[in-house]
Amino acid sequence: MATLTLPEDSYRELYGPTPSYMPSGGWDTREPDKLVKTHCCFCGVQCGIQLKVKDNKVIGFEPWEEFPVNQGKLCPKGVKRYMQNEHPDRLLAPLIRNHEGFRDATWYEALRTTPKAIKDVQATYGKDAFAFLGGASMTNEKAYLNGKFSRIALGTANIDYNGRLCMVSAGAANRMAFGVDRAANPWSDIPLAKAIVLTGTNLAECFPILTDCVWRARDNGARIIVIDPRVTPIARTADLFLPVRPGRDSALAHGILHVMIEHGWIDEKFIAEHTHDFDKVRDLAKKYSPQVAEKITGVPAKNIIKAAEIWGPVETSMLLHARGIEHHTKGVENVLSYINLVLASGRIGKPGCGYGTITGQGNGQGGREHGQRCNQLPGGRDINKPADRQFIADFWGIPEAELPKQGLTACEIIDAIERGEIKGLLSISFNPLVSIPDSNRTRAALEKLEFFACIDFFLSETARYADVVFAGSLQEEDEGTVTTGEGRCVRLRNLVPPPGYAWLDWKIICELADLLGKGQFFKYRKPEEIFTELTAASKGGPIDYRGMTYQKIEQNMGVFWPCPSREHPGTPRLFEGGKFHHPDGKAKFHAYEYRPPAEDVDAEYPIFFTSGRVVSQYLSGTQTRRIGSLLDQYPEPLCEIHPLLAGKLGIKDRDLVKVTTRRGEMTLPAQVVKRIRPDRVFIPYHWAGKKAANQLTNRALDPISKIPEYKVCACRVEKVAEAPKAVTSLNGLHRLIAKTPNSRASTM
């Protein structure tokens, strides 16, 4: 296919001058003052990277080849991550809203206003009427601090975090099946597997560096099964691709198990010695013959049999999944149904044998371990267990009765604001207006708040609704630790100070605690002191970091938990010798019948709608929509639609289409591609306002994990206009918008 090339000068004309945050000529080739080993700020792979610092600015990167996970490799986002550092939109001072809009404020004003407003809300409506929302892009230290701040300084039960939108279905299922929530294997086990199932993950776009482990497995003779309703880049290379109908995974897993049992491809000895409840699952699987499973899932029976033939008899295997099976009202049931396949094979807890959910956010793993969840205390302790409550109350030096009980989850907090039960909110590292389903309702809720404060380094779409915005810190401005998707706790380095009058996040939280009268609990001089405290708080808990120190983590390029003592080397592979983390050491099978999604297709809304990601953008986009060269790769959301469906609706590539669900509508260009099933459309969710996929999605929650059903609802699609003639100049316009300093308003 011919590609359009433009001479350098006309490119400039179209896109304007190179903005100040991007060194002219592209790469900055100046000799750096220092080169610092740290990690990428984006996904849960947490690739090692060396950042170049000159005059207190991050000016570029070098590969860090010794870090074992990525060995110097980086994906497009990792390569461009440093470009946020000098972005003109960076918040440099706190903002306070008055009747005319935001104005720059002093820290004195922002810090006096906020505790007063918190106290007013709590005095009038009760402690729980003030909620806290945290995030899993932040360090372990900040995750711990958020939980302690909410319970002690705010005294509220209502603290939760954005991981509630992410891997909580897997977390709950892992605890139910294995008694612990962590990937069972280090990623170095992937190349040793002879069969790999990847289900509900667009691996090559979302975890590009992990794809390398799968290639290495294939070089070693592994066969790869991909289960996804879209032919994603990894699916194109699979040995077997199962294009499942959205929301039907549990039926597919039962169908595969049916064939495994029929052929005796199960490990009876392992099942008898190390598990409970297989009989219930055997009875259930009997009902899901390949033909029955085909009817539900749309996957031909012969391919279900083929999957069992590949997975059943091999010696080593790994099953990996991400949000495609978890973002459902039965996300936990889907995950448990796939775990059944792993337990039945007996291939877990050995080299090249295991299972894992691929954690999404940078600290998606650590962010869910140290107590910023509504049902959790540090060390993965349970807020509802009397002994766990007593341990943490004693550790913090407060009476157990003062420790709040379990509160609401993230989406439930937004619902409670909508109902007028929660009146105040402090949010850090979370952009719910873009990321929570049914954004029209989220916006209405934010408008109802009597007081709302946000801590961010950019004015996110959510922050625009705040009364006070605190200018917080970027990853490279602070230090601390994060725990990668394989359970390896690694060290992040402080490279540069926050610019202007921005502050370190943890200092803002500690200062607020002090002004709320609880300063004696938050006397930290540096993040290392918070880390030492969190490791002590985790002692003897389900998630034990007790034996970790900054020094040990650095020396070993990360330490895997559990690590209960200084001498302990850490635990890369869980469940060795078939020892699971339930009190009796056994794993549990779970038998859940398939049940349909909360909203199925019907005559009025006949097409499935689903949402997810593209390689060059990250989450709600606040960070990556500000990096022009990433935006170039995918400037605006497109509606993926199969040629058969497009033909039926009279839609051609790049025509403008209106997608409507029971909650809202959006108009966007169509992308006619064969990689999607003809019964569904897909829209990536990294944009805001009228371009937000979450105008359409359904806020129905999984009853156990409380994750929303992002991956399936029902929609209608209509053509509204022909493709504009000059599509390329439209893209140019987007690039210009993204790079101009006043992009705040224009990216809405």
Residues engaged in binding Mo ion (CB under 5 A): 166, 360
Contacts of 351 (CB under 8 A, 6+ apart): 189, 192, 316, 573
And the tokens for 34?
């220092």
Residue with the shortest CB distance to ligand SF4: 78
We find the least distance from the C-beta atom of residue 156 to ligand MGD, in angstroms, to be 19
The CA dihedral of 69, 526, 399, 157, to the nearest 10 degrees, is -60
User: Are 93 and 76 a contacting pair, CB within 8 Å?
Assistant: no
**Binding footprint of ligand MGD, residue count (CB under 6 A):** 61
Using the contact rule CB under 6 A, the part of the chain among 71-79, 151-159, 541-549, 577-585 near ligand SF4 is 71-79
Question: Which stretches does DSSP call E strand in 305-388?
Answer: 317-321, 354-357, 376-377, 381-382
Find which of Mo ion, ligand MGD, ligand SF4, none residue 205 binds, CB within 5 to 8 Å per kind.
ligand MGD
- Chain centroid, CA 71 distance in Å: 23
Residue closer to ligand MGD by CB (options 485, 570) is: 485
For ligand MGD, the binding residues in 199-218 under the rule CB under 6 A are: 199-202, 205-207
- CB-based burial of residue 77 (10 Å sphere; 0-12 exposed, 13-18 middle, 19+ buried)? buried
The verdict on 74 binding ligand SF4 (CB under 6 A) reads yes
Name which of ligand SF4, ligand MGD, Mo ion, none residue 137 binds, using a CB cut-off of 5 to 8 Å depending on partner kind. Answer: ligand MGD
Q: Mark the segment that binds ligand MGD (CB under 6 A) among 114-122, 275-283, 320-328, 652-660.
A: 320-328
Residues 135-164 within binding reach of ligand MGD (CB under 6 A): 135, 137-138, 162
One-letter amino acid at 5 equals T
Looking only at residues 209 through 228 of this chain, which bind ligand SF4 when binding is defined by CB under 6 A? 209
The Cα–Cα gap between 363 and 360 comes to 8
Report how far Cα 57 is from the mean position of its chain's Cα atoms.
Answer: 28
Say whether 689 sits in a helix, a strand or coil. helix
Characterise 627 by phi-psi region: left (phi > 0), alpha (psi -120 to 50), beta (else). Answer: beta
**Min dist. Cβ of residue 664 to ligand SF4 (A):** 30
- Closest to ligand SF4 by CB, 233 or 678: 233
Does position 361 interact with ligand MGD (CB under 6 A)? The reply is yes
Q: Which stretch binds ligand MGD (CB under 6 A): 118-126, 224-232, 480-488, 730-738?
A: 224-232
| Interface residue with ligand SF4, options 75, 133, 153, 601 (CB under 6 A) | 75
Task: Indicate whether 323 belongs to the interface with ligand MGD (CB under 6 A).
Answer: yes
The footprint of ligand SF4 on residues 77-96 (CB under 6 A) is 77-78
Whether the link from the prior residue into 437 is cis, omega within 30° of 0, is: no
The token pair at 131 is 């909620």
Structure tokens at 36: 């610092």
Tell me the two tokens of residue 635. Answer: 């400037």
Are 257 and 263 within 8 A, CB to CB?
Answer: no
Q: Cα dist. 262→265, 286, 336 in Å?
A: 8, 9, 21
When asked if residue 40 is in the footprint of ligand SF4 (CB under 6 A), the reply is: yes
Between 43 and 516, CB nearer to ligand SF4? 43
Residues 441-470 vs ligand MGD: string with x where CB under 6 A? --------------xxxx-x----------
For helices 290-297 and 301-311, the axis angle rounded to 10 degrees is: 110
Look at residues 619, 747, 609 and name the one whose alpha carbon lies nearest to residue 690: 747
Residues of this chain that interact with ligand SF4 (CB under 6 A) are 40, 42-43, 45-47, 70, 74-75, 77-78, 207-209
Residues of this chain that interact with ligand MGD (CB under 6 A) are 43, 135, 137-138, 162, 165-166, 199-202, 205-207, 227-230, 232, 244, 246-247, 249, 322-325, 327, 360-361, 428-432, 435, 455-458, 460, 472, 475, 505, 610-613, 615, 617-620, 622-623, 685, 693-694, 697, 710-711
